[in-house]
């Protein structure tokens, strides 16, 4: 039995055998003849349309008169090649009533059933028609069948038939004639086209016939075409313009060119355009003449045409035209200069630039940009340095288009040399657009960064920070640039420091947040510096807290630090609105004082209301309730008051949302997300998704993802120890990872913390076990910030033999109860048993880059398997 509702490929899959299938046909016919539902029988027909054999014809024929299923049966018969399908349709065409009969006639036409011609002729002429609909259908079927006999019948109907049937007869004549024209039967086709042309039928049909006649005529085609150009009827002129593009023959183009002057301007412009579309030679002279002097309408068409077909001789005409006082003419000429295919155009325009007057010169320079004239770059750079401000600006605009990335050094020097402020902005923009042409996103800042590093003059350094910042904003962040700009903050020159700070404050991601906060807290900072830095940091923290950015930045910690230095109302607003996204008890504590602060009371209240649902039922609930009650009693905004009152009464989120809250559920979701990200097998979790630092905490100014690898520290120098820690703790586990440590100066070292905690002071440090890396200590177990000593060591011989310095090495860390094992590149280096029962048996995993070195550490393939 065939299924009723089929989706996907099933339509055919059930009848996969190529071509008609007798067995399927029998099954489907049985459905047709059963008392199955309408839908089932309609489906059976649609399948028969694809696989039905002639055995299905009688059953289908019986359905043709059915009001609902008649169409479906006809659909099969229309496409079934077997002659018996045609027989059945012809029989039905003689007997069925109304629309069903019209449908059958349409199908006979679609089949181009020559045997139906006598019957269709009768129907086309016969009495008792359904307001002509039946006769019209018969005529159109005859036109489609287009045998000689059918052709005669429709032509006769056009001449002698009822007036009401004339449009249908004309359509039928056109159908037949178009077919014949396509088959090369021009004489036959022409007779029918001419018949329609001379008939009293709607002009759209006469226009179509006229087109056909022009194309079918052996001689006199061109005369007919030109005659139509002069027709008083728009439809005929339109059809002539179409035929002017379609008619082939060597004499057509010259004849149309010769005709131009006899046409009124609007039409002349249109014929000129058609001549260009013909794409034949012998037109340029006529176009150039009209582009130089003519009625405006013709002239504009000619000028536009030069953009497509113009040659060297056209350039002077266009140079002249761009100076026209008529805006439309000048604009058309500029557009054509921008695309004219003439040889050496760029060089000729450049020459013209040298002598052109101010005003025209800038336009021509713009054209060089439109033309992507790369060869013009040196001259454009020279022009950019000219005293004339407008010329300079036009050249800089054009350079933004034509300069190549390999020309960035010259462009940068140019930008440093221009004086005027507006020109400087354009020069910076040219640098940015040129840099953005580089295919490798991470290299887009390279050229400007190299100049920035190489520059010693503070003014130069400060100037370069503008395009550098713009590129970083366009490319979406770069740690390499960040490190360089951060270093510039420590410079002595005031303008450099200020530019660097602004650059960092506008950074496209949260990387500089901690740097900016430190600056904002620095007592030596000016008020302006404090303000710029703090606002930048608060924006970044709010983006991370609000989920608009994935970052390892601890947004709450940022807000804590920011809260110590906020001063103005605007800063407070940024702080409290950002805290509204931090659904933690600490956020509530930070918000509490602002509930008393008239300047931001409302916003602070709103933030409390936002985080309240996450805090109900936690240890902060009493404090929360006190805050909510206070809000409900004091805040001006009625909506917030109402919400606070409701929350205070314990009416929180709907029950469905509450169910999601249990911790275990969250953890499972996190594990699932990790598993999805890395596709690890059950029991193993991927700790790093190779895209971002989701699931990790650390300073994004130190830790980042590069090419799918975690990277910490910089070759420009690491001031202090930094850790990137997991957000959850692990007890017994096997941790596998690969590391690579490269460095040049200082104590080149890093490590992997486990069963560890962050310490309060200094906040960058951690305490706990460390699997050490580098400086000769790889493979050894160190106790960081706690006992501050090696608990067990790999031998020097082992380290020398096992570790590949500066390359990828594999580490395996196994913790089970009191036992800790380290394995480096497949060989166990440490087995340690913890004797001190007070030492924590669970804690964070964290990656370290050591301070006081110029080094970079990388980690990849981090995977943890929890035991038990």
Partner 1 sequence: MNSKLTTGPATSRRTFLQRSLAAGGATLFPLIVPAHVLGRGGGVAPSNRIVLGGIGIGPRGRQVLSSIITEPDVRYVATCDVQATLRESVKALADEAQGNKDCATYRDFRELLARPDIDAVLIATGDRWHALASIHAAKAGKDVYSEKPCGLTIGQCQALSDTIRSTGRVFQAGTQRRNVPNFQFAVHLARSGKLGRLHTMHASIYKLEVNTSWLPAEPEPPRDVIDWDLWLGPAPWRPYNRSYVVDRRWRGYYDFDSGAKLLDWGAHTVDICQWANDADNTAPVEYRPEGGTVYARYANGVKLVMRPNGWIGQPTATNGAGNFAVGSTGTCPVRFEGDEGWVETGDNGTVELYPAALRNEWRAFTMRGTDPAQHTREFLDCVKTRALPAANYNVMRHSHIACHAAAIAWQLGRPVTFDPVKEEFAGDEEANRMRTRAMREPWHV
Three-state DSSP at 459 gives helix
Query: Nearest Cα to 575, choosing from 583, 610, 567?
Result: 567
Quote the CA–CA distance of 93 and 65 in Å, as a whole number.
10
Query: Nearest Cα to 687, choosing from 846, 460, 514?
Result: 846
Which residue(s) pair with 863 in the sheet?
686, 736
Site string for partner 1, 369-388 (x = CB under 8 A): ---x-x--------------
Q: Does 845 bind partner 1 (CB under 8 A)?
A: no
Q: Which stretch binds partner 1 (CB under 8 A): 71-79, 550-558, 696-704, 842-850?
A: 71-79
Q: Pairing relation of β-strands 853-866 and 696-697?
A: unpaired
Three-state DSSP at 409 gives helix
Q: Which is nearer to partner 1, 176 or 815 (CB)?
A: 176
Taking a C-beta distance cutoff of 8 angstroms, is the pair 849, 702 a contact?
A: yes
| Least Cβ distance, residue 330 to partner 1 (angstroms) | 19
Q: Which stretch binds partner 1 (CB under 8 A): 266-274, 638-646, 655-663, 749-757?
A: 266-274
Q: Which is nearer to partner 1, 2 or 840 (CB)?
A: 2
Q: Which is nearer to partner 1, 49 or 573 (CB)?
A: 49
Q: Which is nearer to partner 1, 208 or 367 (CB)?
A: 208
Q: Which is nearer to partner 1, 207 or 538 (CB)?
A: 207
Q: Which is nearer to partner 1, 67 or 527 (CB)?
A: 67
* Count of other CB atoms within 10 angstroms of residue 792: 16
Quote the CA–CA distance of 90 and 114 in Å, as a whole number.
11
| Least Cβ distance, residue 329 to partner 1 (angstroms) | 17
**CA 512 to each of CA 75, 441, 452: distance values in angstroms, whole numbers, following the listed order:** 69, 20, 19
- Identified binder of partner 1 from the candidate list 31, 32, 51, 286, rule CB under 8 A: 51
Q: Which is nearer to partner 1, 72 or 688 (CB)?
A: 72
Quote the CA–CA distance of 345 and 350 in Å, as a whole number.
9
| Residues in region 308-367 near partner 1 by CB under 8 A | none
- Identified binder of partner 1 from the candidate list 159, 266, 657, 831, rule CB under 8 A: 266
Quote the CA–CA distance of 738 and 861 in Å, as a whole number.
6
| Least Cβ distance, residue 856 to partner 1 (angstroms) | 22
| Least Cβ distance, residue 239 to partner 1 (angstroms) | 5
- Identified binder of partner 1 from the candidate list 239, 315, 608, 857, rule CB under 8 A: 239
Q: Which is nearer to partner 1, 318 or 401 (CB)?
A: 401
- Counting residues that bind partner 1 (by CB under 8 A) gives 80
The CA-based dihedral angle spanning residues 356, 359, 360, 363, taken in that order and rounded to the nearest 10 degrees? 130
- Identified binder of partner 1 from the candidate list 27, 30, 36, 46, rule CB under 8 A: 46
Q: Which is nearer to partner 1, 57 or 847 (CB)?
A: 57
Q: Which stretch binds partner 1 (CB under 8 A): 10-18, 412-420, 461-469, 589-597?
A: 10-18
| Residues in region 74-133 near partner 1 by CB under 8 A | 74-75, 78-81, 99-100, 102-103, 106-107, 109-110, 133
| Least Cβ distance, residue 711 to partner 1 (angstroms) | 18
| Least Cβ distance, residue 253 to partner 1 (angstroms) | 16
For 461-466, the CB contacts below 8 A with 24+ separation are 461/488, 461/491, 461/493, 461/496, 461/499, 462/493, 462/495, 462/496, 462/498, 462/499, 463/415, 463/416, 463/424, 463/499, 464/412, 464/416, 465/496, 465/499, 465/500, 465/502, 465/503, 466/428, 466/499, 466/503
Burial label for 745, CB within 10 Å (0-12, 13-18, 19+), is: exposed
Site string for partner 1, 801-840 (x = CB under 8 A): ----------------------------------------
Question: What 8-state DSSP symbol labels residue 245?
Answer: H
| Residues in region 157-186 near partner 1 by CB under 8 A | 171, 174, 178
Q: Which is nearer to partner 1, 84 or 785 (CB)?
A: 84
Taking a C-beta distance cutoff of 8 angstroms, is the pair 201, 236 a contact?
A: no
Site string for partner 1, 190-229 (x = CB under 8 A): ------------xxxx-xx--xx-----------------
- CB neighbour list of residue 743: distance below 8 Å, 6 or more residues apart: 715, 774, 853, 854, 855, 856
| Least Cβ distance, residue 131 to partner 1 (angstroms) | 11
HSE of 372, CA atoms in CB hemisphere, 13 A: 4
- Identified binder of partner 1 from the candidate list 27, 30, 36, 50, rule CB under 8 A: 50
Q: Which stretch binds partner 1 (CB under 8 A): 238-246, 250-258, 629-637, 646-654?
A: 238-246
| Least Cβ distance, residue 493 to partner 1 (angstroms) | 34
Q: Which is nearer to partner 1, 379 or 803 (CB)?
A: 379
Omega prior to 762 cis, within 30 of 0: yes
Site string for partner 1, 684-703 (x = CB under 8 A): --------------------
- Identified binder of partner 1 from the candidate list 117, 150, 303, 438, rule CB under 8 A: 438
Q: Which is nearer to partner 1, 50 or 653 (CB)?
A: 50
| Residues in region 15-44 near partner 1 by CB under 8 A | 16, 18-20, 38-39, 42-43
Taking a C-beta distance cutoff of 8 angstroms, is the pair 759, 730 a contact?
A: no
Quote the CA–CA distance of 601 and 578 in Å, as a whole number.
14
| Least Cβ distance, residue 47 to partner 1 (angstroms) | 9
| Residues in region 511-570 near partner 1 by CB under 8 A | none
| Least Cβ distance, residue 667 to partner 1 (angstroms) | 28
**CA 199 to each of CA 154, 158, 161, 207: distance values in angstroms, whole numbers, following the listed order:** 13, 7, 12, 11
- CB neighbour list of residue 438: distance below 8 Å, 6 or more residues apart: 405, 444, 446
Quote the CA–CA distance of 469 and 411 in Å, as a whole number.
16
Q: Pairing relation of β-strands 789-792 and 781-784?
A: antiparallel
Q: Which stretch binds partner 1 (CB under 8 A): 231-239, 335-343, 640-648, 654-662?
A: 231-239
Q: Which stretch binds partner 1 (CB under 8 A): 429-437, 503-511, 798-806, 823-831?
A: 429-437
Query: Nearest Cα to 529, choosing from 499, 569, 486?
Result: 499
CA 110 to chain centroid, in Å, comes to 44
Site string for partner 1, 269-308 (x = CB under 8 A): -x--xx--x-------------------------------
Query: Nearest Cα to 606, choosing from 584, 636, 586, 585?
Result: 636
Q: Which is nearer to partner 1, 49 or 517 (CB)?
A: 49
Q: Which is nearer to partner 1, 474 or 592 (CB)?
A: 474
Q: Which stretch binds partner 1 (CB under 8 A): 398-406, 533-541, 698-706, 783-791?
A: 398-406
Query: Nearest Cα to 559, choosing from 527, 524, 594?
Result: 594
Q: Which is nearer to partner 1, 207 or 615 (CB)?
A: 207
For the four alpha carbons of 77, 81, 84 and 89, in that order, the dihedral sign comes to positive
Q: In this structure, what token pair is assigned to residue 865?
A: 């398997």
């Amino acid at each position: 039995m065939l299924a009723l509702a089929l989706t996907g490929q099933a339509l055919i899959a059930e009848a996969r055998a190529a071509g008609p299938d007798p067995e399927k046909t029998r099954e489907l016919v049985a459905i047709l003849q059963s008392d199955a539902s309408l839908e089932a029988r309609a489906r059976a027909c649609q399948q028969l349309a694809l696989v039905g054999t002639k055995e299905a014809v009688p059953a289908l024929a019986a359905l043709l008169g059915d009001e609902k299923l008649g169409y479906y049966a006809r659909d099969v018969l229309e496409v079934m090649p077997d002659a018996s399908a045609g027989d059945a349709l012809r029989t039905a065409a003689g007997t069925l009533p109304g629309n069903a009969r019209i449908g059958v006639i349409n199908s006979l036409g679609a089949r181009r059933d020559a045997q139906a011609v006598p019957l269709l002729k009768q129907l086309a002429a016969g009495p008792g028609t359904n307001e002509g609909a039946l006769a019209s259908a018969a005529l159109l079927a005859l036109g489609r069948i287009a045998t000689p006999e059918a052709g005669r019948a429709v032509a006769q109907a056009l001449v002698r038939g009822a007036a009401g049937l004339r449009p249908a007869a004309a359509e039928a004549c056109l159908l037949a004639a178009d077919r014949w024209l396509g088959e090369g039967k021009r004489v036959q086709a022409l007779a029918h086209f001419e018949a329609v042309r001379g008939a009293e039928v709607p002009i759209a049909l006469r226009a179509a016939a006229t087109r056909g006649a022009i194309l079918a005529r052996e001689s006199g085609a061109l005369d007919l075409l030109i005659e139509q150009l002069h027709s008083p009827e728009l439809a005929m002129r339109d059809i002539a313009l179409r035929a002017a593009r379609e008619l082939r023959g060597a004499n057509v183009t010259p004849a149309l060119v010769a005709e131009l002057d006899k046409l009124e301007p609007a039409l002349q412009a249109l014929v000129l355009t058609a001549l260009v579309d013909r794409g034949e030679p012998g037109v340029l002279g006529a176009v150039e003449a009209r582009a130089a002097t003519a009625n405006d309408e013709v002239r504009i068409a000619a000028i536009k045409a030069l953009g497509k077909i113009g040659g060297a001789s056209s350039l002077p005409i266009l140079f002249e035209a761009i100076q026209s006082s008529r805006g439309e003419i000048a604009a058309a000429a500029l557009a054509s200069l921008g695309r004219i295919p003439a040889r050496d155009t760029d060089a000729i325009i450049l020459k013209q630039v040298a002598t052109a007057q101010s005003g025209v010169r800038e336009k021509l320079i713009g054209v060089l940009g439109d033309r992507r004239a790369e060869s013009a770059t040196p001259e454009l750079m020279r022009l950019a340095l000219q005293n004339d401000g407008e010329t300079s600006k036009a050249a800089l605009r054009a350079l933004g288009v034509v300069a190549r990335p390999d020309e960035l050094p010259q462009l940068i020097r140019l930008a440093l040399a221009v004086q005027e402020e507006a020109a400087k902005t354009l020069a910076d923009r040219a640098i940015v657009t040129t840099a953005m042409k580089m295919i490798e996103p991470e290299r887009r800042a390279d050229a400007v960064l190299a100049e920035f590093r190489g520059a010693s003059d503070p003014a130069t350094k400060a100037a370069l920070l503008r395009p550098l910042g713009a590129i970083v904003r366009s490319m979406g962040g770069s740690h390499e640039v960040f490190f360089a700009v951060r270093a510039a903050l420590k410079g002595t020159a005031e303008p450099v420091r200020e530019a660097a700070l602004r650059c960092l404050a506008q950074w496209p991601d949260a990387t500089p947040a901690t740097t900016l906060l430190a600056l904002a807290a620095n007592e030596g900072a000016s008020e302006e510096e404090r303000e710029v830095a703090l606002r930048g940091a608060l924006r970044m923290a709010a983006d991370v807290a609000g989920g608009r950015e994935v970052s390892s930045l601890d947004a709450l910690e940022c807000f804590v630090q920011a809260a110590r230095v906020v001063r103005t109302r605007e800063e407070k607003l940024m702080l409290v609105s950002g805290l509204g996204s931090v659904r933690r008890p600490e956020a509530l504590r930070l918000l509490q004082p602002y509930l008393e602060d008239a300047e931001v009371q409302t916003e602070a209240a709103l933030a409390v209301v936002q985080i309240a649902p996450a805090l109900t039922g936690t240890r902060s609930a009493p404090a929360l309730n006190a805050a909510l009650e206070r809000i409900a009693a004091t805040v001006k905004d009625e909506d917030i008051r109402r919400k606070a009152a409701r929350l205070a009464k314990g009416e929180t989120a709907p029950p469905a949302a509450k169910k999601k809250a249990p911790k275990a559920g969250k953890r499972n979701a996190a594990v699932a997300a990790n598993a999805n990200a890395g596709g690890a097998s059950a029991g193993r979790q991927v700790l790093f998704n190779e895209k971002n630092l989701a699931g990790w905490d650390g300073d994004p100014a130190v830790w980042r993802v590069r090419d799918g690898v975690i990277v910490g520290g910089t070759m420009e120098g690491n001031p202090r120890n930094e850790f990137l820690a997991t957000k959850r703790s692990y007890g017994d586990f096997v941790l596998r990872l690969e590391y690579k440590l490269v460095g040049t100066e200082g104590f080149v070292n890093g490590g992997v913390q486990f069963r560890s905690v962050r310490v309060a002071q200094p906040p960058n440090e951690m305490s706990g076990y460390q699997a050490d890396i580098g400086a000769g200590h790889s493979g050894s177990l160190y106790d960081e910030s706690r006992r501050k000593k090696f608990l067990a060591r790999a031998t020097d011989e082992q380290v020398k033999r096992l570790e590949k310095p500066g390359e990828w090495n594999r580490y395996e860390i196994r913790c089970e109860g009191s036992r800790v094992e380290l394995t480096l590149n497949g060989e166990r280096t440490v087995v340690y048993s913890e004797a001190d029962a007070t030492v924590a048996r669970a804690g964070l995993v964290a990656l370290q880059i050591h301070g006081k070195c110029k080094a970079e550490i990388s980690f990849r393939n981090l995977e943890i398997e929890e035991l038990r």
